[in-house]
Chain A
């Protein structure tokens, strides 16, 4: 493991957090690259929010180390760390105007350190900068209660970045917004990431959001890191059955290997529907997988349809695209998945290295 001293580079070494007898984080080793947009995703209770709280300093790790830019952070107070956070509910100070919300941290800095802290003029300038960056100029005198959900989120982002932190933590930043606002809020976060150059660590339970935003994706399960890497890596080469079924929608289909040892997985989009098993194209090459069953449910998705197929042993999902001859409920179905598209897992759920 190499230690980076780049500003904004985060290294977690054997980080463990326990609450009484419950283990929230179980010996986490993780590298969050400087300047990345790292998305931590996992089901609820997997420890992703706890990880964020430990990074912020709101919680202290039970054991293990935490380095920011190569310097240990484990004992540094929250607020003294070069780390800012946007909360899920935004946590805007209700009795303060937008301008006062934005400048709160800077005003505290000025009070704590009269010599090196920002001057009043500096604070005014930086509030104006951030307001300009986030389009909040016209809202500076408003109170949070007078803002829309999207505006509140932008204020929360502004309050976090005004101190120019090395690391910006975002806890489920999109979950409080309705679906129309989400797309624009997502674009806003991506733009902000480009412009401020800080490391962004975003926590979400939504794997769509995770795949689309992450430059670095971390999947967590039961207090451990299941896999980390680029979204493509995790999607195309999931390290475990858990990652395989959690990342991507619909979830990867899994069934026992024909050899009886471990399981084989394939994505709904990788199956090609055959008109007939006796069709010439149906002759499987070595290692290809042929599946068949009865079409049970067809869901129109706009550019295609998702088909639930059931046979005597199990059910699975395949995706058909526009132009395919569409299956109808009740019809028999045969499909082939080429060997190169199959994922093989051993009996412990780990990816076989050969595959």
Chain B
């Protein structure tokens, strides 16, 4: 390799490694701190002389980790199922029937992506409250289906990418629209649906604001909100908080390990984050 190329490549790697360190440092520091005894929490040495599992024991016993994980999982799974269902039917209808107002719908969907969720949160909260859905799984799930636009647009790209002759051949074979969807489109879309599901799952799992508003009670809420229990009037129990945060990251970490390739693709395709 010529020296100029080599220098460039080394320079790039230094930059990349620097960025990666910057992004992972808080996470790593949090994990390391979760093993420090309480009196060492604020020390600047990364490794404690007396590492301890006390905080984990505390998080697993005094904190309802199973309940919170269960709640979060129900919410995330519900939102994934709902959004993916809406996305499949919506994308298929827009692609297959190509209605006159298709472009209007696409414009509206795109606009809805541009509206910050915080701007809608008060009316959404009021409606949810009026429906009596506060502190329920339904309240956690259904309003979040309103942000299906990205899923619809992502899947639409894939349905549009299918050869038109494939859908027409099925039509001429006598398939009704839902049969075309079920027999031809869904099998071809499986990888895309997996990618969108993972994307929605991770986004929902990390959702903070909505569960905080709708289900603030410890027994109804998600892990992200449950972590607030470690902030007490006497101050924050950072050891317990960080141990619990580490524990609650594990499910997402496992999803990553199983499907890292697909997740990278999903995020790259969505053009986000």
Contacts and interface: CB of A to CB of B under 8 A. Distances in A.
Contacts of B183: 93, 104
Interface residues of B, number: 17
A84 interface: yes
6 contacts: A56-B168, A79-B173, A83-B172, A93-B169, A93-B184, A112-B174
Q: Is the interface of B mostly helix, strand, loop or mixed?
A: helix
A79 B165 contact: no
Interface string A103-136: 0110011001000000000000000000000000
Contact of A87 (B169, B176, B184, B187): B169
A80 B188 contact: no
B117 to A, nearest CB: 37
B173 A88 contact: no
Contact of B174 (A58, A79, A88, A90): A79
Interface residues of A, number: 25
A108 B174 contact: yes
Given A78-B171, A108-B173, 16 more contacts: A58-B171, A78-B172, A79-B173, A79-B174, A80-B174, A84-B172, A85-B169, A85-B172, A89-B163, A93-B183, A93-B184, A95-B187, A104-B170, A104-B175, A159-B169, A163-B173
A84 B165 CA distance: 13
Given A87-B165, A108-B179, A56 B170 contact: no
Contacts, number: 59
Interface string A168-185: 000000000000000000
Contact of B165 (A91, A94, A95, A108): A91
B225 to A, nearest CB: 42
Contacts of B171: 58, 78-79
A104 B173 contact: yes
Contact of A109 (B172, B174, B184): B174
A109 B172 CA distance: 12
Interface of A: 56-58, 78-80, 83-85, 87-95, 104-105, 108-109, 112, 159, 163
Nearest to A105: B173
B174 A95 contact: no
Nearest to A81: B172
A92 B183 CA distance: 13
Nearest to B184: A93
B174 A89 contact: no
B194 interface: no
Interface in B86-144: none
B188 A95 contact: yes
Contacts of A159: 169, 173
B166 interface: yes
A88 B165 contact: yes
Given A91-B165, A91-B168, A91-B169, A79 B175 contact: yes
Contacts of A104: 170, 173, 175, 183
B191 to A, nearest CB: 12
B168 A58 contact: yes
Contacts of A91: 163, 165-166, 168-169
A108 B175 contact: yes
A41 B188 CA distance: 34
A112 B174 CA distance: 9
Contacts of B168: 56, 58, 78, 85, 87, 91
Contacts of B166: 91, 93-94
Interface in B160-215: 163, 165-166, 168-176, 179, 183-184, 187-188
Contacts of A108: 173-175, 179
A104 B173 CA distance: 7
Contacts of B188: 94-95
Contacts of A93: 166, 169-170, 183-184
Nearest to A80: B174
Interface string B148-159: 000000000000
A56 B172 contact: yes
Contacts of A109: 174
Most buried by B among A57, A108, A112: A108
Question: Which 4 A-B residue pairs are closest in the complex by CB-CB distance?
Answer: A91-B165, A105-B173, A91-B169, A79-B174
Contacts of B169: 85, 87, 91-93, 159
Contacts of B173: 79, 104-105, 108, 159, 163
A84 B176 CA distance: 16
B180 to A, nearest CB: 10
